Structure 1
Amino acid sequence: MSDTPPQFPPPPPSPSSSPSPETHVIDYRAAEQLLAARDPRGAVKLLDSVIAAHPENTAARLLRARAFFAAAQLRPAELEFELVLEREPDNAFAHFALARTHERAGRPDQARKHFRLAAALDPRPDYLAAARFEE
């Protein structure tokens, strides 16, 4: 018998400090839940890391814009909606949400433009009603 202690293999390397893609999906889904639970600031915090890792992710940007809007952070919401529309100019929801943002910020002319674009892209009853084409 030997007096030497048993040799164990070295521990596996520690995971890198950057989250995995799966973590970003989990964070995105959690942010959706936080927004639904009326915690937009919590949603923004989770989405910040997702967008930092994937700045091209328009779904995450759209969700963060909605969270900014829900938190009454209108300028950041406006910037995010505009970025989404730069990438997806035919996104009716983004036009509608940007219109609501302009409306809430007291800019009815800009709001009307985006309400009308939303209705032209997707003639949903709520988009059509907001567009007020008869005016």
Structure 2
Amino acid sequence: MTEDGTGTFEAFRRAESLVAQRRPLDALAALAPVLDAEPDKPSVHLLAGRAYLGSAQLRRAEAAFQRVIELDPTDHYARFALGRTLQRLGRYPEAQTQLRIAAAMHPVPEYQEALGEISARIAVDRGR
């Protein structure tokens, strides 16, 4: 990495591109030095969480999204992604909580639909 951060920035952009190309493991490899250099940057942990989620490393995704929320509690996307991760882990009430917060913070259709989906799942489970 260069002292002016150019190498870190380029590695971050490369990792973003790899996530977009659905190459999460390659993205994580590219992102590793950025995580070391920028341990308190929410954007770095958010990208890592997306890559972990894309590679089905759900516990690591959960930790990454939790870290983003610790660093920036107003990040609605991190809450949405955490909710989806918890949903995949089968932790529906926890997922519902995060999705409710995300939808309240930023009421876009994608968040509302995810909240409706998880709420319906919980209702079905209660009815069994």
State how far apart, in whole Å, the 1-side matches of 2:54 and 2:102 are: 20
Residues 1:63 and 2:47 are matched in the alignment: yes
Gaps of 5+ in 1: 1-18
TM-score normalized by the length of structure 1: 0.82
RMSD: 1.4
Match of 2:56 in 1: 72
The answer as to 2:76 corresponding to 1:92 is yes
Following TM superposition, the consecutive aligned residue runs of length 4 or more in structure 1 with deviations greater than 6 angstroms are: none
* Higher share of residues assigned helix: 2
Which of 32, 43, 60 is the aligned partner of 1:48? Answer: 32
Report the TM-score, using the length of structure 2 for normalisation.
0.87
Q: Which has the higher contact order (CA 8 A, sep 6+)?
A: 2
Match of 1:4 in 2: none
Residue deviations 1:69-127 (CA, integer Å, cap 9, x gap): 00000000000100100111111100000000000111111110001000010011111
Gaps of at least 5 residues in structure 2 are 124-128
Matched with 1:25 is: 9
Query: Partners in 2 of 1:28 and 1:65 — Cα distance?
Result: 13
